[in-house]
Structure 1
Amino acid sequence: MKYLARTATGDPLLGDDGRYVPLGAVEPDLKSVRNALPRAAAGDLGDVADATADPVPTEDVSFGAPLASFGKLWGIGLNYEEHAGDLDEQRPEEPASFTKPSSVLTGPGGPIRLPPESQSERVTAEAELAVVMGRTCRNVDEADVGNVVAGYLPVIDMTAEDVLQRNPRFLTRAKSYDTFLVPGAALAVPEGRLDLEPLSVRTEVNGEVRAENEVRNMLFPPAEIVSFHSDVMTLEPGDLFSTGTPGAAPIDPGDEVRAVVESIGTVDAPVTR
C-alpha cells in the first residue's frame, strides 16, 4: 500500500509502510496531492525507495487533511442491513445517498464539536470506509471502478439523530453541522487490485467497540456506489463517497471516537461542545 498525505503546513507527502517523503522527491512534476489523484487511480505513482530525500518515520510527521479541499461529499445511509434493522428502517432498494457541505470537514484528530443542546441533544458517531475519486468520469461500469478511484480513507461521520428522528426530511441538516466529518490523515492507494470485501469497519468510543462489520455485508458495495452515482452525475478527482456505517454510537463531550478500517487506516477525534 502507498499513501498520499499532507503535513500540517500543507506540504504533499508520499508514504509506504511506516515512512514518508516529500511527494516532489518521487514525482517532481506533482505539486499537490490533488495533482497526484489521477496518477494514483492509474497505478502510476513512484516508490518511496526511489525518492531523492531521506524518508521520515510516520510517528515524526505532523499531518493535516490529505487534501486541501475535497470535491463533492456523498454519504450512504443504511448500507449494512443489520444497521438498518437497528434503526427500524426498511432495506433500501437503491443506495440511500445524501450530500454534506464542505464546511462539515475537520482535520484528522478533530475535534468533533457538538451543536448546542438547544439544537440537538443526541449526536451519534459512525465509522465508515470512504472512497476518493481519482479521475473525471461518467457512466462507469462496476468492473471499471478500480480505474477511476484514487484510494480509500477511514472517516468518522456524525448525525444529530434527534433532529433526523423529528422528520426524515431533516437529514441534510442533521448531517451538516460543522466538524461532522473527520477524514483520516492518509489516503491509502492500493498497489494492484484490493479486495475490500473481507475488510472490517469498526466504530469505537473510549476504546470500546460499539459496532463492527465487514464490507462484504454492505447492501451496496463501494464499486456499485461509484458506478450508480456516475450514471447520475460527472464524478471528479477529490469527490468522496462515505460508504455507510456498521453502527452508530451516541457521543458526549469528553469522549474519544475512533474509526478503524482494516488495512486502510484509523482516525481518532475527541468530542467537545
Structure 2
Amino acid sequence: MKYLARTATGDPLLGDDEGYVPLGAVEPDLGSVREALPRAAAGTLGDVADATADPVPAADISFGAPLESFGKLWGIGLNYAEHAGDLDEQRPDEPASFMKPSSVLTGPSGPIRLPPESQSERVTAEAELAVVMGRTCRNVEEAAFEDVVAGFLPVIDMTAEDVLQRNPRFLTRSKSYDTFLVPGAALAVPEEPLDLDALSVQTEVNGEIEAENEIRNMLFPPSEIVSFHSDVMTLEPGDLFSTGTPGAAHIEPGDEVRAVVESIGTVEAPVTR
C-alpha cells in the first residue's frame, strides 16, 4: 500500500509502511496531493524506495488533512441492512445519498465539537470507509471503478440524531454541523487490486467496539455507489464518498471516537462541546 498525505503545515507526502518522504522527492513535477490523484488512479505513482530523501516514520510526523480541500462530499445512508434495522428504516432499493458542506470537515485528529444542547441533545458517531476520486469521469461502469478512484480513507461521520428523527427532511441539517466529518490522515492507494469485500469497518468509542460489519454486507458496494452517482453528475478528483456505517454510537463530551477500516487505516478524535 502507498499513502498520500500532508504535513500539518501543508507539505505533500508520499509514504509506504516504512515511512514518508516529500512527494517531490519521488514526483518532482507534482506540487500537491491533489495533483497526484490522477496518477494514483492510474497506478503510476512512483515508489518511496526511489526517493531522493530518506523516509521518516509516521510517528515522527504531524499530519494535516490529506487534501487542502476536498471536492463534493457525498454520504450514503442505510447502506448496511443491519444498521437500517437498528434505525427501524426500510431497506432502500437505490443508494440513499446526501451531500454535506465542506465546512463539516475537521483535521484528522478532530476535535469533534457537539452543537449546543439547545440544538441537539443526541449526536451519534459512525465509522465509514470513504472513497476518493482520482479522475474526472462520467457514466462510469462498475468494472472501471479502480480506474477512476485514487484511494480510500477511514472517516468518522456524525449525525444529530434527534434533529433527524423530528423530520426526515432535516437530514442535511442533522449531518452538517461543523466538525461532523473527520477524515483519516493518509489516503491509502492500493498497489494491487484490493478485495474490499473482505475488509471490516468498526465504530469504537472509548476503546469499546460499538458496531462492526464487513464491506461485503453493504447493500450497495463502493463500485456501484461511484457508478450510480457518475450517471447523475460529473465526478472530479478530490470528490469523496462516505459509503455508510455498520452502526452508530451515541457520543458525549469527553469521549474518544475511533474509526477502523481494515487494511486502510484508522482515525480518532476527542469529543468536546
TM-score bucket of the superposed structures, by smaller chain: over 0.9
Q: State the partner residue of 2:16.
A: 16
Q: Aligned partner of 1:19: which letter?
A: G
Determine if contact 2:5/2:187 at 8 Å carries over to the other structure: yes
> Which residue of the partner structure matches residue 220 of structure 2?
220
Structure 1 stretches of 4+ moved >3 Å: none
Structure 2 portions without partners, runs of 5+: none
Separation (CA, whole Å) in 1 of partners of 2:167 and 2:264: 35
**CA deviation after TM superposition for structure 1 residue 148, in Å:** 0.2
Deviations 1:11-68 (A, max 9, x none): 0000000300000000000000000000000000000000001110110010000000
Aligned to 1:2: 2
SS in 2 for 1:197: helix
State the Cα deviation string for residues 185-207 of structure 1 (Å, max 9, x = none): 00000002111001000000000
Corresponding residue for residue 261 of structure 1 = 261
- AA of the residue aligned to 2:73: L
Which residue number corresponds to residue 198 of structure 1? 198
Q: Which amino acid aligns with 1:74?
A: W
CA distance in 2: counterparts of 1:200 and 1:189, whole angstroms:
17
Q: Corresponding residue for 1:74?
A: 74
Which residue of structure 1 aligns with residue 119 of structure 2?
A: 119
Q: Tell me how far apart the structure 2 counterparts of residues 214 and 23 of structure 1 sit (CA, whole Å).
A: 33
Instruction: Write the mapping of 1:217-256 to structure 2, written as runs, cut at 5 A.
Output: 217-256=217-256
Q: Please show how residues 38-117 of structure 1 align to structure 2 within 5 Å.
A: 38-117=38-117
d(CA) in 2 for partners of 1:266 and 1:57? 16
The SS at the match of 1:146 is helix
User: Number of residues paired by the alignment?
Assistant: 273
* Structure-1-length-normalised TM-score: 1.00
| 3-state SS of 1:56 partner | coil
Question: Residue type matched to 2:9 in 1?
Answer: T
What residue is the counterpart of 2:209 in the other structure?
Answer: 209
Give the 3-state SS of the residue equivalent to 2:143 in structure 1.
helix
Corresponding residue SS for 1:201: strand
> Matched residues in 2 for 1:101 and 1:4: separation?
23
Whether the 8 Å CA contact 2:4–2:189 is kept in 1: the answer is: yes
**Which residue in 2 is equivalent to 1:271?**
271
CA distance in 2, matches of 1:49, 1:162: 50
Cα distance between partner residues in 1 of 2:167 and 2:113:
23
Normalization by structure 2: what TM-score? 1.00
- For the residue of structure 1 that corresponds to 2:198, the secondary structure is coil
Provide the rounded CA distance (Å) in 2 between the counterparts of 1:192 and 1:239.
22
Q: Unaligned 5+ residue runs, structure 1?
A: none
RMSD: 0.3
1:189 maps to 189
Q: State the distance in 2 between where 1:147 and 1:119 align.
A: 43
Tell me how far apart the structure 1 counterparts of residues 74 and 55 of structure 2 sit (CA, whole Å). Answer: 34
Write the deviation string for residues 139-180 of structure 1: whole angstroms up to 9, x where unpaired. Answer: 000000110000000000000000000000000000000000
SS at match of 2:169: helix
CA distance in 2, matches of 1:203, 1:174: 19
Asked if the contact 2:18–2:55 (Cα under 8 Å) also holds between the matched residues in 1, the reply is no
Find the aligned partners of 1:179 and 1:3 in 2 and give their Cα distance: 24
1:154 matched residue in structure 2: 154
2-side partners of 1:213 and 1:139: how far apart? Answer: 29
Instruction: Note if contact 2:34-2:238 (Cα within 8 Å) is conserved in structure 1.
Output: yes
- AA aligned to 2:231 is D
Aligned-partner Cα distance in 1 for 2:102–2:192: 31
Counterparts of 1:126 and 1:139, CA distance in 2: 29
